[in-house]
Amino acid sequence: QSVLTQPPSVSGAPGQRVTISCTGSSSNIGAGYDVHWYQQLPGTAPKVLIFRNTNRPSGVPDRFSGSKSGTSASLAITGLQAGDEADYYCQSYDSSLSGCVFGTGTKVTVL
């Protein structure tokens, strides 16, 4: 069982804005460790979408943004597109487990 909890699914119409939460605790996000986000398109390997809480790698559209507050982090997708249908995972470090931890994953569906 992951220590970072995400909603199993979120959905939205094309053009809409959706957000994905990543809820942790005082031993991971709340302790100040960075949060990173990954997108996994069907049948492919994950790809980094947001690193160090708010940073986008080159090539990632600015429709994707990350934020972090307290023991949680969020990924926002604006102007939702059909190509955004994928699984999304947050990742951080947990001091109690002494290792990297991934979120439970969220499936984004474009209606």
Should residue 51 be labelled a site residue for other proteins when binding is judged by CB under 8 A?
yes
> For residue 1, how far is the Cα from the chain centroid?
17
Work out which of 46, 56, 74, 85 binds other proteins, going by CB under 8 A: 46
Shortest distance, position 79 Cβ to other proteins, whole Å:
25
Q: Is 88 in the site for other proteins (CB under 8 A)?
A: no
Site stretch for other proteins (CB under 8 A), options 16-24, 38-46, 60-68, 77-85? 38-46
Identity of residue 30 = G
Q: Give the list of residues 6+ apart from residue 90 with CB closer than 8 angstroms, or none.
A: 4, 6, 20, 22, 35, 36, 37, 38, 73, 75, 102, 103
Binding residues for other proteins, rule CB under 8 A, total 24
CA quadruple 12, 111, 24, 64: dihedral positive or negative?
negative
Residues that bind other proteins (CB under 8 A): 2, 33-34, 36, 38, 45-48, 51-52, 57, 89, 91, 93, 97-105
